[in-house]
Amino acid sequence: MTNPSAFVTHGIAQAQRALSAVAAMTNAHLNPTTLKRTLAQRARAELARLEIIIRRLLTLMALGLVLPPVPVRTSSGHHPDTERVETKASGRLTGLSPRVLGPDMDRDGLATTARPSGPVQAAPILARLAALQELLAAPEAHAKRLARTLERQRKAGEAAPIALPMPRTHRMPPELGAIATALPELLRDAFKSWETSG
């Protein structure tokens, strides 16, 4: 699928499906207070991967937008729903969530420290899930804010962000794995005009 707009639409639909699977896995509709530790670790790992994919999809959407100019404002803060898109020095493309990984997760979303067995609090995982579902409920609004952030960074002379290949895509559902694999190349193409655009 070479049309970026169609790719993003398809990607968002697949991400929504994956979020629904996490919601079903955690019985989010029942609003549980605790989850089994192994289930919580699995849910956090899934959400960590989905956060990266969703950010990249929204970034691709943002790069395809043509926004009207806005008047210059004297404001040093960022919109609460946006975050700086990290550049080549950081080695990871982000964009919308202040929290990329859980406190006990590595880059692949896997547990890095041994923890005692027993249930864990469900609230942080359910809140993370709800936040991603909210993003995908109105992706255009978030993409517009992200487009403004990217434009400010470009005009400030920052290096174009990059998206490194995601590991373990073979463990994802086939459609989602294909999307995660294709995103870095699509973003690389979309950022080609970063240095030359006016």
Q: Domain ranges in the chain?
A: 4-190
Rg (CA), the chain: 17
pLDDT tens digits, 75-114: 555 444 434 433 333 334 444 333 332 333 444 444 455 5
The amino acid sitting at 72 is: V
Residues near 131 by beta carbon (within 8 Å), at least 6 away in sequence:
97
Mean pLDDT of 37-41: 95
Site of tokens 């655009």 = 197
- Whole-number pLDDT of residue 104: 39
Return the closest-CA partner of residue 8 out of 60, 49, 48: 60
Q: How confident is the model at residue 33 (pLDDT cuts 50, 70, 90)?
A: very high
Burial pattern 135-155, b for ≥16 Cβ within 10 A else e, equals: bbeebeebbebbbbbbbebbe
pTM attached to this predicted model: 0.76
